[in-house]
Amino acid sequence: IGTGLAGVKVLAVGKLLIEHCTIQNFTVDGVDFEPSTSNAKLLVSDSTLNNNVNGSNNSAAIYVQATGAMASIDRARLGQNNVGLFVRNGTASVRQSSLSGNTLNNIRADSTGTVRVNVDNSLISDSTAGGGIFAHLSTASVSISNSTVTANSTGLLALSGASIVSYGNNRIFGNTTSDGAPTS
Protein backbone atom coordinates (compact mmCIF):
# COMPACT_ATOMS: atom_id res chain seq x y z
CA ILE A 1 0.00 0.00 0.00
CA GLY A 2 3.01 2.27 -0.37
CA THR A 3 4.06 2.38 3.29
CA GLY A 4 6.51 -0.57 3.48
CA LEU A 5 10.18 0.33 3.91
CA ALA A 6 12.21 -2.09 1.73
CA GLY A 7 10.92 -4.82 -0.53
CA VAL A 8 14.00 -6.98 0.07
CA LYS A 9 16.56 -5.98 2.72
CA VAL A 10 19.79 -7.99 2.80
CA LEU A 11 22.08 -7.84 5.84
CA ALA A 12 23.95 -11.15 5.51
CA VAL A 13 23.99 -13.50 2.54
CA GLY A 14 26.43 -15.34 0.32
CA LYS A 15 24.31 -15.09 -2.81
CA LEU A 16 20.78 -13.85 -3.48
CA LEU A 17 18.95 -14.51 -6.76
CA ILE A 18 15.81 -12.51 -7.66
CA GLU A 19 14.13 -13.75 -10.85
CA HIS A 20 10.82 -12.95 -12.52
CA CYS A 21 9.69 -10.63 -9.71
CA THR A 22 7.92 -7.30 -9.43
CA ILE A 23 9.03 -5.16 -6.49
CA GLN A 24 7.12 -1.89 -6.20
CA ASN A 25 5.65 0.80 -3.95
CA PHE A 26 8.23 0.76 -1.13
CA THR A 27 9.42 3.94 0.60
CA VAL A 28 13.09 3.14 1.25
CA ASP A 29 14.35 0.78 -1.48
CA GLY A 30 13.01 -1.98 -3.68
CA VAL A 31 16.14 -4.04 -2.94
CA ASP A 32 18.42 -2.80 -0.12
CA PHE A 33 21.64 -4.82 -0.48
CA GLU A 34 23.94 -4.08 2.48
CA PRO A 35 25.38 -7.48 3.45
CA SER A 36 28.05 -7.84 6.10
CA THR A 37 29.11 -11.08 4.40
CA SER A 38 32.37 -10.82 2.47
CA ASN A 39 32.04 -10.84 -1.34
CA ALA A 40 28.24 -11.23 -1.28
CA LYS A 41 26.47 -11.48 -4.63
CA LEU A 42 23.11 -10.14 -5.80
CA LEU A 43 21.64 -11.36 -9.09
CA VAL A 44 18.47 -9.69 -10.41
CA SER A 45 17.09 -10.93 -13.73
CA ASP A 46 13.89 -10.60 -15.72
CA SER A 47 12.37 -8.42 -12.99
CA THR A 48 10.60 -5.06 -12.64
CA LEU A 49 11.33 -2.63 -9.82
CA ASN A 50 9.18 0.47 -9.95
CA ASN A 51 7.60 3.24 -7.94
CA ASN A 52 9.90 2.91 -4.93
CA VAL A 53 9.80 6.56 -3.83
CA ASN A 54 9.79 8.86 -0.84
CA GLY A 55 9.60 12.60 -0.26
CA SER A 56 13.33 12.86 0.47
CA ASN A 57 14.19 11.60 -3.06
CA ASN A 58 16.59 8.98 -1.68
CA SER A 59 14.71 5.76 -2.40
CA ALA A 60 16.20 3.42 -5.02
CA ALA A 61 14.96 0.47 -7.00
CA ILE A 62 18.27 -1.25 -6.14
CA TYR A 63 20.69 0.10 -3.49
CA VAL A 64 24.13 -1.52 -3.09
CA GLN A 65 26.46 -0.66 -0.21
CA ALA A 66 28.98 -3.22 0.99
CA THR A 67 32.71 -3.68 0.53
CA GLY A 68 33.27 -6.40 -2.06
CA ALA A 69 29.56 -6.69 -2.90
CA MET A 70 28.77 -7.66 -6.49
CA ALA A 71 25.39 -6.99 -8.08
CA SER A 72 24.37 -8.26 -11.50
CA ILE A 73 21.25 -6.81 -13.11
CA ASP A 74 20.15 -8.55 -16.30
CA ARG A 75 17.04 -7.85 -18.39
CA ALA A 76 15.47 -5.73 -15.65
CA ARG A 77 13.23 -2.68 -15.74
CA LEU A 78 13.92 -0.03 -13.09
CA GLY A 79 11.48 2.84 -13.52
CA GLN A 80 9.60 5.59 -11.69
CA ASN A 81 11.79 5.37 -8.55
CA ASN A 82 13.72 8.25 -6.96
CA VAL A 83 16.93 6.51 -8.17
CA GLY A 84 17.10 3.46 -10.42
CA LEU A 85 20.43 1.90 -9.39
CA PHE A 86 22.36 3.50 -6.50
CA VAL A 87 25.80 2.01 -5.75
CA ARG A 88 27.63 3.47 -2.71
CA ASN A 89 30.20 0.71 -2.22
CA GLY A 90 30.78 -2.38 -4.36
CA THR A 91 30.42 -3.38 -8.00
CA ALA A 92 27.36 -3.58 -10.23
CA SER A 93 26.92 -4.81 -13.79
CA VAL A 94 23.82 -3.88 -15.79
CA ARG A 95 23.04 -5.69 -19.03
CA GLN A 96 20.09 -5.50 -21.43
CA SER A 97 18.08 -3.42 -18.98
CA SER A 98 15.94 -0.28 -18.98
CA LEU A 99 16.49 2.37 -16.32
CA SER A 100 13.99 5.10 -17.09
CA GLY A 101 11.77 7.72 -15.54
CA ASN A 102 13.60 7.75 -12.22
CA THR A 103 13.31 11.26 -10.79
CA LEU A 104 16.77 11.95 -9.31
CA ASN A 105 19.12 9.66 -11.30
CA ASN A 106 18.74 6.54 -13.37
CA ILE A 107 22.22 5.35 -12.30
CA ARG A 108 24.11 6.89 -9.37
CA ALA A 109 27.64 5.85 -8.41
CA ASP A 110 28.29 7.91 -5.28
CA SER A 111 31.19 6.60 -3.31
CA THR A 112 31.62 5.81 0.36
CA GLY A 113 34.14 3.17 -0.78
CA THR A 114 35.25 1.84 -4.13
CA VAL A 115 32.40 1.85 -6.64
CA ARG A 116 32.48 0.33 -10.11
CA VAL A 117 29.41 0.17 -12.37
CA ASN A 118 29.45 -1.47 -15.82
CA VAL A 119 26.54 -0.84 -18.19
CA ASP A 120 26.11 -2.79 -21.44
CA ASN A 121 23.35 -2.73 -24.05
CA SER A 122 20.91 -0.78 -21.87
CA LEU A 123 18.53 2.18 -22.09
CA ILE A 124 19.06 5.08 -19.67
CA SER A 125 16.24 7.57 -20.28
CA ASP A 126 13.57 9.98 -19.13
CA SER A 127 14.96 11.27 -15.86
CA THR A 128 13.55 14.69 -16.60
CA ALA A 129 14.46 16.27 -13.25
CA GLY A 130 17.82 14.54 -12.85
CA GLY A 131 20.54 12.68 -14.63
CA GLY A 132 20.94 9.61 -16.72
CA ILE A 133 24.28 8.57 -15.20
CA PHE A 134 25.79 10.44 -12.24
CA ALA A 135 29.21 9.55 -10.79
CA HIS A 136 30.60 11.33 -7.74
CA LEU A 137 34.01 11.20 -6.00
CA SER A 138 37.29 9.83 -7.27
CA THR A 139 36.69 6.24 -6.16
CA ALA A 140 33.55 5.96 -8.35
CA SER A 141 33.75 4.76 -11.94
CA VAL A 142 31.05 3.94 -14.52
CA SER A 143 31.78 2.20 -17.84
CA ILE A 144 29.19 2.22 -20.63
CA SER A 145 29.03 0.17 -23.82
CA ASN A 146 26.36 -0.24 -26.54
CA SER A 147 23.91 1.84 -24.51
CA THR A 148 21.52 4.74 -25.17
CA VAL A 149 21.36 7.74 -22.82
CA THR A 150 18.52 10.06 -23.88
CA ALA A 151 15.69 12.32 -22.67
CA ASN A 152 17.25 12.95 -19.25
CA SER A 153 17.83 16.42 -17.87
CA THR A 154 21.59 15.73 -17.98
CA GLY A 155 22.86 12.63 -19.79
CA LEU A 156 26.27 12.07 -18.16
CA LEU A 157 27.72 13.89 -15.16
CA ALA A 158 30.97 13.04 -13.34
CA LEU A 159 32.02 15.22 -10.39
CA SER A 160 34.90 15.41 -7.90
CA GLY A 161 37.28 13.12 -9.79
CA ALA A 162 34.76 10.39 -10.66
CA SER A 163 34.96 8.80 -14.11
CA ILE A 164 32.50 7.79 -16.80
CA VAL A 165 34.30 5.69 -19.41
CA SER A 166 32.71 5.09 -22.82
CA TYR A 167 33.75 2.34 -25.20
CA GLY A 168 32.81 4.72 -28.04
CA ASN A 169 29.76 2.78 -29.21
CA ASN A 170 27.06 4.53 -27.16
CA ARG A 171 24.27 6.86 -28.22
CA ILE A 172 24.18 9.93 -25.97
CA PHE A 173 21.71 12.48 -27.37
CA GLY A 174 18.52 14.45 -26.76
CA ASN A 175 19.09 15.17 -23.08
CA THR A 176 17.36 18.48 -22.27
CA THR A 177 19.93 20.46 -20.26
CA SER A 178 23.12 18.75 -21.42
CA ASP A 179 24.18 15.47 -22.97
CA GLY A 180 27.37 15.63 -20.94
CA ALA A 181 30.42 13.69 -22.02
CA PRO A 182 32.39 10.70 -20.81
CA THR A 183 35.58 11.55 -18.97
CA SER A 184 37.42 9.11 -21.27
Q: What is the pLDDT of residues 132-148, one digit of tens each?
A: 999 999 999 999 999 99
Task: Give the N- to C-terminal CA distance of the chain in Å, as an integer.
Answer: 44
Q: What would the pLDDT profile of 20-79 be if each residue is shown by its tens digit?
A: 999 999 999 999 999 998 899 999 999 999 999 988 888 999 999 999 999 999 999 999
Residue 2's pLDDT band, with cuts at 50, 70 and 90, is: low
* 1, pLDDT greater than 70: no
* 170, pLDDT greater than 80: yes
Q: What percent of the chain has pLDDT over 70?
A: 99
Please give the Cα distance from 87 to 77 (Å, whole number): 17
Q: What percent of the chain has pLDDT over 90?
A: 89
Which pLDDT belongs to residue 78?
A: 98
The pTM assigned to this predicted structure is 0.96
Please give the Cα distance from 149 to 126 (Å, whole number): 9
> In the chain, where does DSSP find H-type helix?
none
Please give the Cα distance from 9 to 77 (Å, whole number): 19
Which pLDDT belongs to residue 129?
A: 86
The mean per-residue pLDDT over the stretch 97-113 comes to: 94
Please give the Cα distance from 179 to 109 (Å, whole number): 18
Please give the Cα distance from 52 to 12 (Å, whole number): 22
